[in-house]
Amino acid sequence: MSEFIQLLISGLSAGSIYALAAVGFTLLWQASQTINFAQGEFVMVPAFFVLALSVKLGLPIWLAMPLTVILSVLLLGALFKKLIVEPMHKHGTIPLVIATIALGLLIKEMVKEFYSPLGQPFPSLFPQTVLTVGDAVISVPDIANFVIAMGTIVALQLFLGRTRTGRSMQATAQNPDVAQILGVDIQRMVMYTFLINGALAAIASILITPIYLAKFSNGETLGLVAFIAAIVGGFNQIRGALVGGLLIGVIDNMSATYFSAEYRQALPMILLIVIILVRPQGLLGTSEGRTV
């Protein structure tokens, strides 16, 4: 039982970070029908911003991390929208998808070429200690990661639901024609979505990289997991992406211990196929298509 609890908490911790990436994925889709196949690299690269700022430029880590969030918001949010999404969007969804795949490859190769092809140690925000609850030994970073990731998603939900700007973003996502005739600045709302995705990617990167080391190839797994989590949970719901992320985190952890470490990466795929066959709109998704 104690092993089960440890695995559950560890899975929820990883899953909540996957959920951050998946939520960003769904937000971009809802606001602008952008399917961002570079999302994994968006989560990989902020870790290298932290390393470049702290190791190369010698900034303290407490400064490098918030600067990384700002850099990510600007580069992975604003610049991505202006340089890739806006010019490609008028050509349709497929050219934009191809462009994001190319962008992902470019980011990955640039990190490999200009930083290092080797995994780099990455500082953890939290002490590597454990809590003992009954027979279960629970990692403090796992709990802290879970709290921060969930707190970020709850804060995002509150922003979207409780502020006028958030509700304008929802209106833009759910019914852009109506938003326009009501005088909502649609382009600004879509831009906010991209900025938020940049911030979510940076937070996910800072939380997850201490677990895996900073490596140029981290985005391959993270991007796939974010995509699967978004589909499984429901591509048009933030809470769907959250549930999808948590579910995949837990399944991944449990399957490695109770089933087979060799097949742990196959199980999310099997889940994806089952969901697409049985409930194509996802666990919490709605068939109407575009809703926050």
Instruction: Considering the complex, state which of residue 51 and residue 243 has its C-beta at the smaller distance from another protein.
Output: 243
* Nearest by Cα to 223 from 50, 114, 121, 97: 97
Instruction: Considering the complex, state which of residue 70 and residue 178 has its C-beta at the smaller distance from another protein.
Output: 178
Task: Compute the least distance from the CB of residue 180 to another protein, in Å.
Answer: 6
One residue of 164, 261, 262, 277 binding another protein per CB under 8 A: 164
Q: Is 145 in the site for another protein (CB under 8 A)?
A: no
Whether 36 contacts 278, CB under 8 Å:
no
Rounded to whole angstroms, the Cα distance separating 99 from 78 reads: 16
Instruction: Considering the complex, state which of residue 170 and residue 209 has its C-beta at the smaller distance from another protein.
Output: 170
Instruction: Considering the complex, state which of residue 116 and residue 174 has its C-beta at the smaller distance from another protein.
Output: 174
Instruction: Considering the complex, state which of residue 1 and residue 181 has its C-beta at the smaller distance from another protein.
Output: 181
Long-range Cβ pairs for the range 143-151 (8 Å, 24+): 143/9, 143/13, 145/13, 145/14, 145/16, 145/17, 145/207, 145/208, 146/9, 146/12, 146/13, 146/16, 148/203, 148/207, 149/13, 149/16, 149/17, 149/19, 149/20, 149/203, 149/204, 149/207, 150/16
Task: Compute the least distance from the CB of residue 33 to another protein, in Å.
Answer: 17
Q: Is 51 in the site for another protein (CB under 8 A)?
A: no
Q: Is 270 in the site for another protein (CB under 8 A)?
A: no
Residue 265 has a CB neighbour count (10 Å cut-off) of: 14
- Considering only residues 167 to 186 of the shown chain, the ones binding another protein according to CB under 8 A are 167-168, 170-171, 174-175, 177-185
Binding site for another protein (CB under 8 A): 164, 167-168, 170-171, 174-175, 177-185, 288, 291-292
